[in-house]
Structure 1
Amino acid sequence: MGSTFSGLNTALTSLYAQRRGLDVTGQNIANANTEGYTRQRVVMHAQNANLVPGVYATTDAIGGGVTVSSVERLRNTALDQRSYTEHANSAFHNERAGVYNLVEDVFGEPSDTALQARLQDMWDGWNDVGANPTMKAPKSALLEQATTVAASLNDAAAALNSQYTSTRGGLDTYVGDVNAAARSIAKLNQEIVVAHEAGLQANELMDQRGRQILKLSEMVGATATDLPNGAISVYIGSAQLVSEYNVREIEIKQPAATRLEDLPLLDVTLQWSDNDGVVHAGGTMGAQLETLGKNGILKTISNRLDTIATYLARDVNSLHESAYGLDGSSGLQFFVDGSAVPQTDSTINASNIAVNKDLLDDVDKVAVSSGNPTAPQSSGARILDGDLAFALSELDDAQDGADAEYRALIGELGVSAQSAIRRRDIQNAVTDQVDASRDAESGVNLDEEMTNLLTYQRGYEAASRVLTTIDSMLDQLINRTGLVGR
C-alpha cells in the first residue's frame, strides 16, 4: 500500500510540471514576433511508482506523479530543407530580375528621349541637310543630334559599367558575409553539442543556427544536413562549407575583373580558399556571378551596345568619307574615337564614339554632296547636291545597320527581362507557400498559446487544491485522532 505522504509528492510534481508548462507558454508568447523563433512544447509523462519494477515488487501504489521529460522544438526537418532550397531559388531569381530591370532602365525604351528616338532624329537631320545642302542651320542641328546619339551611347556604356562595378563590390561583401555566417554556425554547433551532452535544452541556439543557415541559403544557395550529435553540416553544391566545428572559407579568384573593360581577359570566379576548387554558388551570389562573368548578362549586353556603335560609325563614315563638304573637303570621318588619348588601332565602341571635332568647328566640312562643289567645271557650274545626305538618311532602314541591331537588342532584352520577372514571381509564390507551411508547423499561434496558458493554469490550481486537501487530511490524522473521550 502506498504511503499517506506519497500524495504530497504527486501533487508537488504536478505543480512543477504545470509551472514549467506556463514558463514555456510564456516564452512562446514573448517570441511570437521574433524572426526565426520555433515554438516549443512541454512533453510530460507519468512517473511509475515502482522505480525499478521486478518480479517480486509488491507495491500497489497508483503512481509517482508527473515529470517533464523534455521541451520539444516543433520543427519539421523536411520543411526546413525545402525552405533552404526555395529561398535560395528566390534569391537567385530576385537578383537576376533586378539586374534586367536596371539594364532596362539604362535604355529607357520606349521613350521619346531614348536612343531609338535620337537615332531617328539624326536620320531626319540628314534628310533636312540633303534638302538644304548650302545652309548652315540644318548642318548645325544635325551635328547636335549626332552628338546626342553619341552621348547616349557613351552614357549607356558608362551606366552598364557602373552597374558592373556596384555588383562586383556587392559580391566582395557577400564573400565576407558567407565566411562570417559559416564561422557562426560552427560555433553554434559546438555549443549545441555540449548542451546535448550535458542533458540541457538548446532550442534557442538551434533557432539562431537556423537563421544563419537560411541566410547562407539566400546568399550562396547553401543546404544543410543534421548529424546525430545535434550538429549540422552545411554544403554549397556538393562541397562542405561547415563540418561540425570546422569551416572552409570561400574567396574570389585573383586576378579578377573589376570593370567591364577587364573582360574577357579576366573573369570573376568563386573558389575555395584551401584547394582553389570552384564554388558552385546559387542564391544571390550565383546570380551575381552569372551577371559578372565574361559571358555574363552585362558583358553580353555591353558587347551588343558596342556593336551598335561600331555599325553606326562604319555605315555613316563609309558614305561621309566619299562625299564632299561645301568647302570641298572630303575623306573626313563623321564618327571618331573620342577618347582622351585615342589609340591608332582602336575600334570605335559605345564608350568612346564621338562626332569629329573638325566638323563641329566648321559645319561646311560636313560632307553631303556626291561631287566637289569647289572643283572647276567645263560648264562653269558648281556641282553641289545633297545626294549623300539623302543616302545617309536612309540608313535607318538598313537590315544590318545600327538601328536594326538596336531594335533586336531591345526586343531580346525585353523578352529576357519579362522571362526573368515571370520566373521570379512564380518562384516567390512557391517560397511563400513553403514558408506558410513551415510557419503553420513551427510558428507561434497566440490563440493556441492562450488555450495552453489556461490549461496549465487550471492544472496548477488543481494540484494546489490536492496539496491543500492532503494537508487537511494529515492535520486531522495527526492532531485530532484519539481525542475522543478526553
Structure 2
Amino acid sequence: MAMINNALSGALAAQVALSASSQNIANLQTKGYTRQAALLTAVGPDSSPRSSGNGVQVSSLVRFSDGYKSQAMWRAASELGAHSQTQPYLSQLESVMGDETASLSAGIDQFFGALNAVAGDPGSTPLRQQVLTSASLMSERFNGLNNVFNAQLQSVRNQRSAIVDSANAQIATIARLNRQISEAQAGGLSASSMIDARDQAIDSLASKMGLEVSDNADGTRDVSLKTGQSLVLGSMHGTLKAAPTATSPQEFSLSFAGTSYVLDPSKLGGQLGGLAKYEAEKLTPLQQDIADIARQIAEKTNAQLALGFKPDGSGGTPLFDFNPGSNADMLKVTGGFVAADLAFSADGAPGDTGNLQKLVALKSQPITVGSIGSVLLSDADTQLVGKLGVDSQLNKAALKTTQTVRTQSVDDWQSTSGVNQDEEAVNLVEYQNMYQANLKVISVANALFDATLAMMG
C-alpha cells in the first residue's frame, strides 16, 4: 500500500505542476503576468523503521517575483513619465517660436525696417502707412504667441486634472485588491492573479507620480508619495484633488482618513511633477519674458514718439497700447492712430527725421528680460528661442535615457517573472514523465499485490 500511496501522491503532485505550467503557457502574452510553479516537498517517513517516506506534496505555488526589480521598474516609470509629458509642449513652442515666417524676430525686424524705409521720404503717406501696418503685424505676432502660451497653460492644467482622476481610480483599486489579497491568503487560497493586477495598478500609478511601496506580512502593500504622505494603507486609501483656489489657479491636495494635506505638485515626480515643473520653470517664465519684450517695445516707442512732432507741428502721441495678461490684445496699435500721427520730426520742421532716427536706434538699445537679463532688443527673441531649444534638447536626451532605463528594467523584471516558452515546454515534458512514471509504479504495485494474493490463495 505504501508504494501505491507514494505513487499516487507523485501523480497528484505532477498534475498540480502540469496545471501551473499550462497556466503559464496560457498567459504567455498576458501583460504583467507573473509565472508560477509548484513547490514540491518530500513527505517524511512515519514511525515505522522500514518506512522510506510517504511520497511528495505540493507545499505551495511559488510566484517568481523579485521585489527589487519591481521597485526599479516603478521608479523608471516615474522618471519616464516626468519627461514624456513635457516634451510635446516644448516641441510645440520650439516650432512656433523658431518659425522663420512667424517669429517675433521677423516681426520686430519688419517694424524697424519700415521705420528705416520711411527715412528717405518722411512725408510719404504710403511709407508711413507701412509703419502702422508693420506695427500691427508685429503686435499680432506677440498676441498670437501669448495665445499659444495661454492655451498650453490651460492644456497642462486640464491634463493634470485628468491624471489626478485616473490616479484616484488606481489608488482605490490598489486598496480594494489589498483587502481581497489579504482575505484570500488568510483562507489559504491563491491570490496570484490579484497580486498581478495590483502590481499593474501600482506600475500605472508610478508613471503619474513618484511612489514608495512597502510590503506587509498579511500580503498587502502600502503606497505613499515620495514626500511621505500615504496614498494606501492596507485597505484604506486617500483621494487626490486638483482644484482652483483664491490664491492658485490649480491647488493640489490629498485627503486621507479625514485629514487634508496641500501638496507641491513640482515635488510629486512622474507625469504630475513633470507638468508642474514645466509650467513653473519653463512656460510661465517664458510667457513673462515675451510680455517683457512687448512692454518695453511699447514703452520705448511711445516715449520716443512723445519727444517728437507730427507733420502739423503738434506733439507725438502713443503708438502702442500694452495690456499685461491680456490674451488677444496684449499689444496693439492705439485705436484711431493714423499715419499722420507719427511724430518723426525732432524740432517740428517739415522733412526733419531727427526723432525718426532715434526710433530706428531703439532696436540696438538694451532691454531687460527676466530669464536672460540685459540684452539688445534685436537679440532678445533669438536668445529666448535658443534657450528654449537647449531646454528641449536636454529634455529629449533625458527622455531617451529614461526610456532606455525603463525598457531595461522591464526586461530585467521579465527575466525573472515573465513566462519562458522553452522553459515551460521542458517542464511539461518533465512533469508528464513524472506523472507517467508514478502511474507505472501504481501498475507495478497492483501487479505485486495481485501476485501476493494469488500466492496466498
TM score, norm. by length of structure 2: 0.89
The answer to whether residue 368 in structure 2 is matched with residue 386 in structure 1 is no
5+ unaligned residues in a row in structure 1: which ranges?
A: 51-56, 257-264, 340-345, 374-382
Check whether the contact 1:153–1:350 (CA below 8 A) recurs between aligned residues. Answer: no
Check whether the contact 1:310–1:348 (CA below 8 A) recurs between aligned residues. Answer: no
1:38 to 29, 34, 39: 34
Query: C-alpha deviations, 1:46-104, integer Å up to 9, x for none?
Result: 12232xxxxxx334122222211111111111111222222212211222334422332
Check whether the contact 1:398–1:404 (CA below 8 A) recurs between aligned residues. Answer: no
Q: Which stretch has the larger CA shift, 57-66 or 234-243?
A: 57-66
Aligned match of 2:273: 286
Q: Cα distance, 1:178 vs. partner? A: 2.0
Aligned match of 2:370: none
2:387 to 412, 421, 424: 412
Aligned match of 1:276: 260
SS at 1:278 equivalent = strand
Check whether the contact 1:88–1:219 (CA below 8 A) recurs between aligned residues. Answer: yes
Query: C-alpha deviations, 1:330-388, integer Å up to 9, x for none?
Result: 32211114x7xxxxxx79999520122323xx323333333435xxxxxxxxx213343
Aligned match of 2:373: none
User: Which structure would you say has the larger Rg?
Assistant: 1
Check whether the contact 2:87–2:395 (CA below 8 A) recurs between aligned residues. Answer: yes
The answer to whether residue 9 in structure 2 is matched with residue 10 in structure 1 is no
1:147 to 136, 140, 143: 136
Check whether the contact 2:174–2:198 (CA below 8 A) recurs between aligned residues. Answer: yes
SS at 2:41 equivalent = strand
Check whether the contact 1:224–1:235 (CA below 8 A) recurs between aligned residues. Answer: yes
In 1, Cα distance between equivalents of 2:308 and 2:148: 35
Check whether the contact 2:10–2:435 (CA below 8 A) recurs between aligned residues. Answer: yes
Query: C-alpha deviations, 1:11-45, integer Å up to 9, x for none?
Result: 22222111211211121112122111111122111
The answer to whether residue 84 in structure 2 is matched with residue 94 in structure 1 is yes
Mapping of residues 296-311 of structure 1, within 5 Å? 296-311=281-296
Instruction: Compare the two structures and name the one with the higher strand fraction.
Output: 2
- Which amino acid letter does the alignment assign opposite residue 465 of structure 1? K
Mapping of residues 133-282 of structure 1, within 5 Å? 133-237=122-226, 238-252=228-242, 254-255=244-245, 265-266=247-248, 268-273=250-255, 274-279=258-263, 280-282=267-269
In 2, Cα distance between equivalents of 1:173 and 1:371: 62
2:54 to 52, 55, 64: 64
In 1, Cα distance between equivalents of 2:43 and 2:325: 87
In 1, Cα distance between equivalents of 2:114 and 2:155: 38
SS at 1:277 equivalent = strand
TM score, norm. by length of structure 1: 0.84
- Which amino acid letter does the alignment assign opposite residue 385 of structure 1? D
Check whether the contact 1:171–1:285 (CA below 8 A) recurs between aligned residues. Answer: yes
Query: C-alpha deviations, 1:389-415, integer Å up to 9, x for none?
Result: 333233322222543332332232222
Check whether the contact 1:22–1:457 (CA below 8 A) recurs between aligned residues. Answer: yes
Q: Cα distance, 1:329 vs. partner? A: 5.0
In 2, Cα distance between equivalents of 1:172 and 1:432: 28
Q: Cα distance, 1:271 vs. partner? A: 1.9
Mapping of residues 333-372 of structure 1, within 5 Å? 333-337=318-322, 351-359=329-337, 362-372=338-348
Q: Cα distance, 1:174 vs. partner? A: 2.0
Given the superposition, is the C-alpha separation of residues 36 and 364 from structure 1 closer, same or farther in structure 2, using an over 3 Å criterion? same
Aligned match of 1:377: none
Check whether the contact 2:168–2:239 (CA below 8 A) recurs between aligned residues. Answer: yes
Check whether the contact 1:305–1:350 (CA below 8 A) recurs between aligned residues. Answer: no
Aligned match of 1:378: none
SS at 2:345 equivalent = coil
- Which amino acid letter does the alignment assign opposite residue 444 of structure 2? T
SS at 2:44 equivalent = coil
SS at 1:364 equivalent = helix
Given the superposition, is the C-alpha separation of residues 319 and 6 from structure 1 closer, same or farther in structure 2, using an over 3 Å criterion? same
Q: Cα distance, 1:189 vs. partner? A: 0.7
Check whether the contact 2:321–2:333 (CA below 8 A) recurs between aligned residues. Answer: yes
1:319 to 299, 304, 309: 304
Check whether the contact 2:232–2:238 (CA below 8 A) recurs between aligned residues. Answer: yes
1:449 to 402, 411, 424: 424
Q: Which stretch has the larger CA shift, 212-221 or 173-182?
A: 173-182
Given the superposition, is the C-alpha separation of residues 247 and 402 from structure 1 closer, same or farther in structure 2, using an over 3 Å criterion? same
Q: State the identity %.
A: 25
Q: Cα distance, 1:255 vs. partner? A: 0.8
- Which amino acid letter does the alignment assign opposite residue 243 of structure 1? L
In 2, Cα distance between equivalents of 1:372 and 1:348: 36
1:83 to 67, 73, 79: 73
1:470 to 408, 424, 445: 445
> How many residues are matched?
443
5+ unaligned residues in a row in structure 2: which ranges?
A: 368-375
Check whether the contact 1:46–1:65 (CA below 8 A) recurs between aligned residues. Answer: yes
